[in-house]
């Protein structure tokens, strides 16, 4: 996610050819609830500050080995370069705000 800083606390994972990616906490804890809360705080900040609706991927508690908490990101051919850049800027701002507090 760009230069080193607080926003580098997230890592983008996904197949290069796929429009579906996941943002994980680079140094997540073993506490799923805590990690969910951190990611949801980033999502809430993006919604409030940039009017971008994002949320943490949900996993049923019945799954024995649930995937790590993440923010699911999907880009389509309908998104413009400007929209993608706006999302990235908003994400960096929200993540910096959350990780600096």
Task: Map out the domains of the chain with their CATH numbers.
Answer: 6-100 (3.90.1150.10)
**Measured CA distances, 53 to 15, 18, 45, 58, 59 (Å):** 23, 21, 10, 15, 19
Distance separating alpha carbons of residues 24 and 28, to the nearest angstrom: 8
Average pLDDT of span 61-83: 86
Least confident among 20-24, 52-56, 89-93: 52-56
pTM of the complete model beyond 0.85: no
Distance separating alpha carbons of residues 45 and 53, to the nearest angstrom: 10
């Amino acid at each position: 996610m760009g230069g080193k800083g607080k926003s580098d606390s997230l890592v983008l994972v996904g197949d290069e050819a796929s429009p579906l990616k996941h943002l994980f906490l680079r140094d997540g804890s073993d506490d799923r609830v805590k990690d969910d809360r951190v990611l949801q705080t980033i999502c809430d900040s993006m919604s409030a500050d940039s009017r971008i609706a994002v949320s943490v991927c949900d996993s049923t508690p019945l799954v024995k080995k649930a995937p790590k908490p993440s923010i699911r990101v999907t880009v389509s051919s309908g998104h413009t370069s400007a929209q993608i850049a706006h999302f990235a800027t908003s994400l960096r701002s929200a993540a910096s705000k959350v990780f600096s507090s």
